[in-house]
């Protein structure tokens, strides 16, 4: 699989056990492993363990402990069920014997349509006329935010075009790269209406923030070498938590994924070390 990005390559170290590739530097500028990275790599482990014969349908990952990007991470796959149409795995990421994350991954074969409908994609400018922006995305991918600060029913919304132009080969790798981009923006988006009280720049200093759980459902095949519109909504902020959700559309308006996230966002009782926090 020469077209598989290095960060999604796995080294088999035992039966259904793999070592993942760590990036050269931390995506968040501190010594932790980004949730989107772990989720994508656990997806690749499930796909590799099953021989890539089915598409990933959904992933529900819980991030129990922050890891360091300077030490090896191992991923173990346990098959729950594998039939002709559906299969399911439990995938666990460990670092130095400590559990970092666990995901439930559902896979299926792709059948012909019995029926088809979906919501309409938001009307936004094309990616080509927009400036690049910053987000926690797969290294080498592009992020082009749609200007403005829209709200839907009082909830802050962000829309951005995403593309990894080199392409990613297997469908699971495309899904992993797209899913990576859905993980990192919801906490900051939730703070947008409250700029007078909280700022994302204070995360891991005076604010304790982190993704706790992320779920993504893949509804159609996707190609990350082509532009995808990602819409994020910070639906509810309360009780030191943030719940957000969103959708992923193709340029043609096809809904290819939906996602949900539970995060922590609370005042830190004391000043924090920005290099290590959860």
Q: What are 46-56's pLDDT values in tens digits?
A: 999 999 999 99
Look at phi and psi of residue 69 and say left if phi exceeds 0, alpha if psi is from -120 to 50, else beta: alpha
pLDDT at 179: 98
What are the chain's domains? Answer: 6-110+127-267 (2.40.160.210)
pLDDT at 208: 80
Instruction: Please report, for residues 55, 190, 220, the alpha-carbon distance to residue 109 in angstroms, rounded to integers and kept in the order given.
Output: 6, 36, 11
Average pLDDT over residues 47-73: 94
Residue 238 banded pLDDT, cuts 50, 70, 90: very high
Nearest CA among 236, 247, 228, 161 for reference residue 193: 236
Top pLDDT among 25 and 149 is at 149
pTM for this model (two decimals): 0.93
Other CB atoms closer than 10 Å to residue 274's CB: what's the count?
Answer: 15
pLDDT at 278: 43
């Amino acid at each position: 699989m020469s077209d598989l990005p290095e960060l999604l390559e796995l080294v088999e170290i035992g039966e259904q056990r793999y070592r993942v590739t760590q990036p050269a530097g931390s995506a968040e500028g501190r010594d932790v492993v980004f949730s989107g990275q772990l989720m994508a790599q656990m997806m690749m482990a499930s796909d590799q363990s099953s021989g890539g014969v089915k598409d990933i349908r959904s992933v529900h990952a819980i991030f129990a402990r922050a890891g360091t990007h300077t030490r090896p991470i191992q991923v173990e796959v346990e098959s729950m069920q594998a039939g002709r149409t559906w299969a399911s795995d439990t995938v666990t990421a460990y670092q130095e014997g400590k559990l970092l994350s666990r995901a439930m991954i559902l896979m299926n074969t792709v059948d012909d349509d019995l029926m088809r409908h979906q919501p309409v994609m938001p009307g936004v400018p094309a990616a080509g006329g927009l400036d690049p922006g910053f987000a926690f995305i797969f290294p080498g991918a592009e992020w082009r935010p749609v200007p403005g600060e829209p709200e839907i029913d009082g909830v802050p919304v962000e829309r951005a075009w995403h593309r990894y132009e080199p392409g990613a080969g297997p469908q699971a790798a495309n899904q992993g790269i797209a899913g990576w981009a859905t993980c990192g923006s919801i906490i900051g988006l939730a703070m947008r209406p409250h700029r007078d009280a909280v700022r994302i720049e204070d995360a891991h200093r005076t604010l304790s923030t982190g993704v706790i759980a992320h779920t993504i459902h893949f509804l159609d095949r996707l190609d990350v070498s082509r532009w995808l519109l990602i819409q994020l909504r910070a639906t509810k902020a309360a009780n030191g938590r943030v719940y957000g959700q969103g959708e992923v559309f193709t340029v043609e308006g096809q809904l290819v994924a939906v996602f949900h996230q539970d995060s922590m966002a609370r005042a830190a009782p004391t000043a924090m070390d920005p290099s290590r926090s959860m």
